[in-house]
Amino acid sequence: MTSVRARTAIGLVWGFIAVGVATTQTVSEGQRGLANPTGPFGLGKVTLLCVDNSRIEPLDSNHGARRIIVDVWYPADPTAAGESNRAEYLAVEAIERVIGPEGLKKQLGSAYDTVKAGVVTHAMIRAPFARSVRNSPVLIFSPGGGMVRELYTSQLEDLASHGYVVAALTHTYDGFLTVFPDGSHVAYDGRRWPKPPSVEGEANLNQLEWHADDICFVLDELSRVPQTTPFAGRLNLSRVGALGHSFGGLAAAHACQKDRRIKACLNQDGAVATQPYFLDPRGWGMDQPFMLIERAFRMEPPSDQELAAMKLTRERMNEIRKRLDSRRDLALRATGSGTYRVVLRRNGTSHMDFSDLKVLGAATRGEREVGERVLAAVTEYTRAFFDRHLKEVKSSLLESNPSGLVDEVQRFGPAKRKKMGLPR
How far is the C-alpha of 167 from the C-alpha of 150, rounded, in Å?
A: 11
* More confidently predicted of 296 and 355: 355
| Residue 420 pLDDT class (50, 70, 90 cuts) | low
| Residue 13 pLDDT class (50, 70, 90 cuts) | very low
Q: What's the pLDDT at 421?
A: 58
Give the up-direction half-sphere exposure of residue 132: CA atoms within 13 A in the CB hemisphere.
11
**DSSP per residue, 82-119:** -GGGBBPS--HHHHHHHHHHHHHHHHHGGGHHHHHH-E
How far is the C-alpha of 256 from the C-alpha of 142, rounded, in Å?
A: 13
| Residue 186 pLDDT class (50, 70, 90 cuts) | very high
Alpha carbon 334 to chain centroid, angstroms = 23
- State the DSSP code for 311: T
pLDDT of 411 above 80? yes
**DSSP per residue, 140-199:** EEEPPTT--GGGGHHHHHHHHHTT-EEEEEE-TTTSSEEE-TTS-EEE--GGGSPSSP-S
Q: What's the pLDDT at 232?
A: 96
Tell me: the pLDDT tens digits for 20-69?
Answer: 333 444 433 344 788 999 999 999 999 999 999 999 988 888 889 999 99
In the chain, where the domains are located: 10-412
Rounded to 5°, the CA angle 194-197-203 comes to 50
* CATH number for region 10-412: 3.40.50.1820
Strands (E), 274-379: 290-295, 339-344
One-letter amino acid for residue 242 of the chain: A
Q: What is the mean pLDDT of the chain?
A: 86
Burial of residue 392 (CB within 10 Å: 0-12, 13-18, 19+) is exposed
Closest CA to 3 of 129, 158, 133, 185: 185
Q: What's the pLDDT at 20?
A: 38
Tell me: the pLDDT tens digits for 264-283?
Answer: 999 999 998 888 999 999 99
How far is the C-alpha of 27 from the C-alpha of 86, rounded, in Å?
A: 8
Q: What's the pLDDT at 30?
A: 40
Tell me: the pLDDT tens digits for 233-261?
Answer: 999 999 999 999 999 999 999 999 999 99
**DSSP per residue, 261-280:** TEEEEEEES--BTTBSS---
Report whether 3 contacts 95 (CB < 8 A).
yes
How many helices (H) and strands (E) would you count in the chain?
9, 16
What does the pLDDT average to over 155-176?
97
Asked which of 219-228, 376-385, 399-408 is least confident by mean pLDDT, the reply is 399-408
| Residue 422 pLDDT class (50, 70, 90 cuts) | low
Q: What's the pLDDT at 84?
A: 57
Tell me: the pLDDT tens digits for 203-234?
Answer: 555 889 999 999 999 999 999 999 999 999 99
Tell me: the pLDDT tens digits for 115-159?
Answer: 999 999 999 999 999 999 999 999 999 999 999 999 999 999 999
Q: What's the pLDDT at 14?
A: 31
